[in-house]
Structure 1
Amino acid sequence: MARKDHYYNKAKQQGYRARSAFKLQQLDEEVGLFGPGNTVVDLGAAPGGWLQVASERVKDNGKVVGVDLQRIRSLDKHNVETIRGDMTEEETKAKLKDIIGEQGADAVVSDMAPNMTGEYSLDHARSIYLAQQAFEVAQELLATGGDFAVKVFDGRDLADFRAEMEGSFQYVRSIRPDASRDSSSEQYLVGKRYLTAPVRSGDELEVEIIDVGSEGDGIAKVEDFTVFVSGTEAGETVRVKITDVKPKFAFAERLDE
């Protein structure tokens, strides 16, 4: 039996609206996108297969919100809400923010794909364009430390888009789920632990050491964001290079020794 038939039949048997539900299951198993109680946004959610999987993974105390230009047939799940609209429009984004609340989303996912023309370079370019739109929306919705997963097609623009994502997450992985068809060039870029820090690895700046932490590192603040600097003492003003950025703090080395 061909693999596409296997997942199509499996979706029908298990009550999923699309075979792509298994791609999201496999992504979650690979990188841990969801947890009980999480808030998840699914961009381009019709017909609802990913909403079903996310609903199961976040459990009864979680929340899943799907948005699509197409109508999403109602799901019999109390932790799922849907919005019909364009994800890039301010009205739609305002509705999403109202539902997910000020704390933001723990994960934003997108399985959107362009209408296929059969011209590979055009289909690739359109897939990257959709992925960039999803990424821009995700940056407005994600909480610090949240995750983002988006479908893309292989091609010349993929490396640049991945580099763009890498500037906003602790790390980015490329994953091809087993449920993807053999003939497809699709893959998923997964950004883990969204960074809202005002600094990035490699930045050089001057900081004032205001305190010393329990491990002996100096503590500086950049727009209320904590930066640990080894080999410094309270009261010093030093030039540093950021070496590692976490969602809630960063590490730096001094440059003026």
Structure 2
Amino acid sequence: MTRRDQYYNKSKQEGYRSRAAYKLKQLDDLENVISGGDTVVDLGAAPGGWLQVAAEKVGPPGSVIGVDLQRIKDLEDSTLNDRVETLRGDMTEDKTRERVIDAAGGPVDAVVSDMAPNMSGEYSLDQARSLYLARQAFETALEILDTGGNFVVKIFEGPDVDDFRADVEDEFQYVRVTSPKASREESSEIYFIAKGRLTAPVRPGDELEVEIIDVGSEGDGIASIDGYRLFVSGAETGDKLTVRVEDVKPNFGFAAPVDDE
């Protein structure tokens, strides 16, 4: 049995609307993208396979917003359906993005996108369109993800993918690129799993003047940058010095005095 037949048949047996459901299951197994109680936005959600998986994973306290150009039918499982809201619209249009933001009612915990272009049969064109859709999903994620939130997006391998990865890495603590087993063997699709949305006012490599306002439990000085905590090695309360940012986490970062190098 081919991989395609295996997952197609499995989806029918287990009540999933598409074989793609297993892609999200496998991606989540790798990196724990969705947790109980999360609010998740699913872009390109039709026919609903990813919606089903996301609704299972967020559990009763969570919610899932599905968006697609096509109408998404209510889920057959009423328990899961109660956690899902669907919107019909084009994610390349600002008005659709605004509707998603309104529906979320605030920052969300995860944005997942399985959007794909209508296939023309010309790979270079299809790849370029795939990259465009991935960037649309990325821009949406940057706008609505909470600090520390996660992002999953599909893209076809090809030109400018490395540039796209660099852009994603600038905005998240960790990025992994993978191809789940449920993808068709002949497929060129890959998935970016980006974890830990960074909303810090600094980035690694930045040099800045800081004043140490406190000392942490590990003995590092603490500076505040627009409310963001920056731990500075070897610094003491009252020090004013130039530091270079070495590592950035969603809620705090680490730096070293430039003079120590």
TM-score (norm 1): 0.96
Question: In the alignment, which residue of structure 2 is the partner of 1:81?
Answer: 85
Identify unmatched segments of 5+ residues in structure 2.
none
Question: In the alignment, which residue of structure 2 is the partner of 1:51?
Answer: 51
Q: Which amino acid aligns with 1:177?
A: P
1:120 matches 2:123: yes
Cα distance in 1 for residues equivalent to 2:210 and 2:226: 11
**For the aligned residues, what is the CA RMSD?**
1.1
Offset of 1:21 from its aligned partner? 0.4
Offset of 1:3 from its aligned partner? 1.1
Identify unmatched segments of 5+ residues in structure 1.
none
Question: In the alignment, which residue of structure 1 is the partner of 2:160?
Answer: 157
Offset of 1:91 from its aligned partner? 3.2
Offset of 1:35 from its aligned partner? 1.0
**Structure 1 segment 22-171 matched on structure 2, within 5 A:** 22-75=22-75, 76=78, 77-102=81-106, 104-171=107-174
2:234 to 231, 235, 253: 231
Offset of 1:69 from its aligned partner? 1.5
Cα distance in 1 for residues equivalent to 2:92 and 2:121: 26
Query: How high is the sequence identity, in percent, across the aligned residues?
Result: 62
Offset of 1:122 from its aligned partner? 1.5
1:242 matches 2:235: no
Offset of 1:13 from its aligned partner? 1.3
Q: The residue matched to 1:123 in structure 2 has which SS?
A: helix
Deviations 1:182-232 (A, max 9, x none): 110001001011100011111111111111112111111111111000111
Could you list the runs of 4 or more consecutive aligned residues of structure 1 that deviate by over 6 angstroms after TM superposition?
none
Asked if the contact 1:40–1:63 (Cα under 8 Å) also holds between the matched residues in 2, the reply is: yes
Asked if the contact 1:55–1:63 (Cα under 8 Å) also holds between the matched residues in 2, the reply is: yes
Asked if the contact 1:43–1:108 (Cα under 8 Å) also holds between the matched residues in 2, the reply is: yes
Q: Number of residue pairs matched? A: 256
Offset of 1:95 from its aligned partner? 2.7
Moved more, 72-81 or 23-32: 72-81
Asked if the contact 1:63–1:79 (Cα under 8 Å) also holds between the matched residues in 2, the reply is: yes
